[in-house]
Amino acid sequence: NGSQTIELWTAQGNPTAGSVIVNFTSSNYVVVFVDKFQNVNPFVPFESAAGANTNGQDSTLCSTGPSTAFTNLNLTSTVNNALLHVITGARNQTITAAEPDYDQLAYETAGISGNFINSYLHQMVLTLAGTDNISHQLNSSVGAWVTAGIVIRP
């Protein structure tokens, strides 16, 4: 319904302790996840960034779509032992059965009753190069969801 957006931002350097400051010019409700990684390929650190919503993978439509109780995203790695990093936002829904191969790193919520976003951060190591499908089961097929992911190369 056009109410959710996921943005993936990347930076490169040596991880250090400290704060990350995020400034917005305007926003209703915001959840921010910050992760630092080591042993990332310095020449080609990322590949296969992708997103999906109820309209499908890499859909440009965001205001309509079928109601589904399952998220669905494919990520492809061309190298072994890549880290698949996935963010999911479920509007007025919760993940009741996460993709079993993935570890949940974080969960945050923003908004008010009737208009809240549950945000989840999951990741897994894909030991062999190839494509992995990430599908989380939601508690309801009524509502909107959005998911995005990126492959982090070792």
pLDDT tens digits for range 84-123:
999 898 888 889 999 999 999 998 888 777 777 888 999 9
Q: Residue 8: which of 98, 116, 84 has the closest Cα?
A: 84
> Which pLDDT score, from 0 to 100, does residue 11 have?
79
Q: Residue 88: which of 29, 9, 146 has the closest Cα?
A: 146
Question: How far apart, in whole angstroms, are the C-alpha atoms of residue 97 and residue 70?
Answer: 9
Kindly state the average pLDDT of the residues 23-33. Answer: 75
Question: How far apart, in whole angstroms, are the C-alpha atoms of residue 139 and residue 128?
Answer: 32
The residues near 45 (Cβ < 8 Å, ≥ 6 apart) are: 10, 12, 152, 153
More confident residue, 32 or 133: 133
> Which pLDDT score, from 0 to 100, does residue 65 have?
63
Question: How far apart, in whole angstroms, are the C-alpha atoms of residue 25 and residue 136?
Answer: 32
Read off the pTM.
0.84
> Which pLDDT score, from 0 to 100, does residue 119 have?
87
Q: How confident is the model at residue 126 (pLDDT cuts 50, 70, 90)?
A: very high
Q: How confident is the model at residue 62 (pLDDT cuts 50, 70, 90)?
A: low
Question: How far apart, in whole angstroms, are the C-alpha atoms of residue 52 and residue 87?
Answer: 11
Question: How far apart, in whole angstroms, are the C-alpha atoms of residue 35 and residue 94?
Answer: 22
> Which pLDDT score, from 0 to 100, does residue 125 have?
96
